[in-house]
Structure 1
């Protein structure tokens, strides 16, 4: 890949961020102000939906990153937990339109941002204080139970943070505790967005990011069996989506970590 192509993609990325951040600030100001006086309204919800759809459009227009989401028919009616792999901010925009009335589990620091935090809380987001570790779980479960009672579907990233493509998984116990306490199905979500919009990458690369809702895991399983099924479903399909995208050809260079991960998998296969 030439230096010119990389520089050009960096410019496209910068243009996206200008539009994305500018729009996010304006919408947060409006929805946050509405939340102070009226809580959740049809207008604030419509603006949240617009924010997600428009961000996906801006990614396609400015950076060449397209979106495919499949498997939404696997989301059961009623309350459930949607447990997604997390590799980039794209994940939030892509999953949101398919979740009905979502209640995202978000780190507490985001909720402390003026206007943005007020807007997020009015749209059912649930804050978790990650610094408290396991001590934060009881409050998380109570708020989650309340959100399900309001007709929400919980959306959680069970690893707690963004992971690089093909990186070793690091699932936390919060999702297991929620599964045991709430007694609702869990829908795993696999994706490969980290190939195009990596956590530490200054450039968003062109291509087609995919997310796939997988068959729901029924409630009532022993914790160990549930944990194994969840990780196997997410990691297996995430790896498949990632390798398929690489085989089709990427419009980005392969970094040393990604090359090493691919080499490990090739050696294992042989």
Structure 2
């Protein structure tokens, strides 16, 4: 019960702080990509700090963090993995839902960061638009992040990997860095309880360009799912338990 109460207080203060950070950094961030990165990373680090002492939830990044232009294909379990991956990378930009680009403040920040909007309701057109937008944005170097299953996936749930990641891999001709995580065990997709422990995102060895679509998809899924299962077990999760 005490951990639940601590979790509620943590969540409330986290969301109260969000618009405050957005407004404080706005004069710099809305006119400068560097300012937008500073704002988002400052807020994320604030969340990590408060999570540590308010709910005893620590955040850890493992593996070799890429610095050049690469495609990042990540496991997505909760809001926390977004912040952890973004903060670890030097110049991250996301493939994100088109609707989010219309949100006040958030949309302006996303555009300044170079995020790529897609319409998830029109899969074929969304992929084509995503590729053209990514290619058009190459003047803004950075690491392009896509969630290969298309949504948050709770621990123990299996969802297929979507073809959009393979299309980007083929079109961009860049290495693809898989990212595994266990954050959903401690910061669930739904619910208010934040559990004590160590939330991990791990950058895995890069997949070099040149694989066929089927080879790439199988290699990516095997790497991310195998390592995510190991990280979740480390955090105390067991299938069916």
The interval holding the TM-score normalised by the smaller chain is over 0.9
> Residues of 2 paired with 1:81 and 1:159: CA distance?
15
1:31–1:115 contact (8 Å) kept in structure 2: no
> Residues of 2 paired with 1:147 and 1:129: CA distance?
18
2:8–2:192 contact (8 Å) kept in structure 1: no
> Residues of 1 paired with 2:124 and 2:25: CA distance?
32
1:163–1:199 contact (8 Å) kept in structure 2: yes
> Residues of 1 paired with 2:35 and 2:119: CA distance?
29
Shift, 1:181, TM fit: 0.8
Matches within 5 A, 1:117-266: 117-246=107-236, 260=240, 262=241
Shift, 1:174, TM fit: 0.8
Aligned partner of residue 164 in structure 1, secondary structure: coil
Higher helix share: 1
2:22–2:105 contact (8 Å) kept in structure 1: yes
Query: How many equivalent pairs are there?
Result: 241
Residue 47 (structure 1) aligned with residue 39 (structure 2) = yes
Aligned partner of residue 83 in structure 1, secondary structure: strand
Instruction: Go from structure 1 to structure 2 and tell me whether the alpha carbon gap of 1:11 and 1:133 turns closer, same or farther (over 3 Å shift).
Output: same
Which blocks of at least 5 consecutive residues in structure 1 are unaligned? 1-6, 247-253, 263-270
Structure 2 partner of 1:72: 64
Aligned partner of residue 221 in structure 1, secondary structure: coil
Shift, 1:101, TM fit: 0.5
Shift, 1:169, TM fit: 3.0
> Residues of 2 paired with 1:34 and 1:129: CA distance?
29
Aligned partner of residue 179 in structure 2, secondary structure: strand
Instruction: Go from structure 1 to structure 2 and tell me whether the alpha carbon gap of 1:114 and 1:239 turns closer, same or farther (over 3 Å shift).
Output: same
> Residues of 2 paired with 1:32 and 1:116: CA distance?
11
Instruction: Go from structure 1 to structure 2 and tell me whether the alpha carbon gap of 1:41 and 1:215 turns closer, same or farther (over 3 Å shift).
Output: closer
Deviations 1:98-122 (A, max 9, x none): 2111111111222111111111211
Instruction: Go from structure 1 to structure 2 and tell me whether the alpha carbon gap of 1:9 and 1:216 turns closer, same or farther (over 3 Å shift).
Output: same
Larger Rg: 1
User: Superposition RMSD on alpha carbons, in Å?
Assistant: 1.8
Instruction: Go from structure 1 to structure 2 and tell me whether the alpha carbon gap of 1:78 and 1:44 turns closer, same or farther (over 3 Å shift).
Output: closer
Shift, 1:196, TM fit: 0.6
Instruction: Go from structure 1 to structure 2 and tell me whether the alpha carbon gap of 1:41 and 1:83 turns closer, same or farther (over 3 Å shift).
Output: closer
> Residues of 2 paired with 1:215 and 1:239: CA distance?
17
Which blocks of at least 5 consecutive residues in structure 2 are unaligned? none
1:197–1:203 contact (8 Å) kept in structure 2: yes
Residue 8 (structure 1) aligned with residue 5 (structure 2) = no
Shift, 1:25, TM fit: 1.2
